[in-house]
Amino acid sequence: MRALPILFFFAALLPTAGWLSSALAQATRAAQGASRVQAERAAVDLKQGMSLEEVQQLLGKPWRTALASNGSPAAPWQGTLRWTYTWISNASASERSLNIEFTAKAAEQWAVSGWNWSTY
């Protein structure tokens, strides 16, 4: 019979366990925001000729991608790939974007050809 009040006590704590997991998820999202700040600093290490994998290892997955094809029938894989990374500064609420341009060396072999920053 003594176990019954203890069981009720733990049953009453179950809803707070859900709140705790929600708080932990929000803390994880905040940590992801911090990693974006670190990624912005890591962008200093960009180099011409880097592969897609090297850029993704340095900065993570891009926010947006775009592909422009200017290939010929003989080389349809040629074109330009653009990756866009976006960060929003809480202090000024301005958005900064890093656009990285890749050109194809061969089919499915992309290399960084240039990058630029834009502020909105």
Residues 66 and 81: beta-carbon distance below 8 Å: yes
Residues 66 and 82: beta-carbon distance below 8 Å: yes
- Overall number of domains in the chain: 1
For 43-47, 74-78, 105-109, which range has the lowest pLDDT when averaged over its residues? Answer: 74-78
Which of 57, 115, 45 shows the shortest CA–CA distance to 81?
Answer: 115
> How is residue 112 written in tokens?
């960084």
pLDDT of residue 72: 66
Higher-scoring residue by pLDDT: 55, 23 = 55
- Among 27-31, 52-56, 68-72, which range has the highest average pLDDT? 52-56
> How is residue 115 written in tokens?
């990058």
Higher-scoring residue by pLDDT: 18, 46 = 46
Residue 7 sits in which domain range? 3-119
pLDDT of residue 105: 83
For 22-26, 53-57, 107-111, which range has the lowest pLDDT when averaged over its residues? Answer: 22-26
pLDDT average, residue stretch 63-67: 90
pLDDT average, residue stretch 11-33: 44
Asked whether the predicted pLDDT for residue 116 surpasses 60, the reply is: yes
